[in-house]
Amino acid sequence: MRLKRKMHTLTDCPRGCSATVVKLHAKGPLKQRLVSFGIMKGARVEVIGFAPIKSTVEIKIGRMRLALRKEEAQMIEIDHDA
């Protein structure tokens, strides 16, 4: 019997965490927008910080910094470094 692993998203990552994108759960125009920023399977991202009450997440991908809404960040499944 295989144990189901809990899915981790960008909102689960603490500030300063580096992670690899495992899957995008977004669809349509939002998925296209995220991919245009380089957020796709295998991409490395770093969580820079959070707005109060984690309403937005600031990330760094490559040399670019982005602010994502909490709802958008929760659609990005990650595998974070231990």
Output 81 or 62, whichever has higher pLDDT.
62
pLDDT for the residue 43: 95
The 10s digit of each residue's pLDDT in 24-52 is 999 999 999 999 999 999 999 999 999 98
In a domain, 3, yes or no: no
CATH of the domain at 20: 2.30.30.90
In a domain, 54, yes or no: yes
In a domain, 12, yes or no: yes
Place of tokens 């490559």: 62
pLDDT for the residue 5: 59
pLDDT for the residue 4: 54
Count the domains in the chain.
1
**Domain span including residue 69:** 8-80
In a domain, 51, yes or no: yes
pLDDT for the residue 59: 96
In a domain, 1, yes or no: no
Instruction: Count CB neighbours of 41 within 10 A.
Output: 11
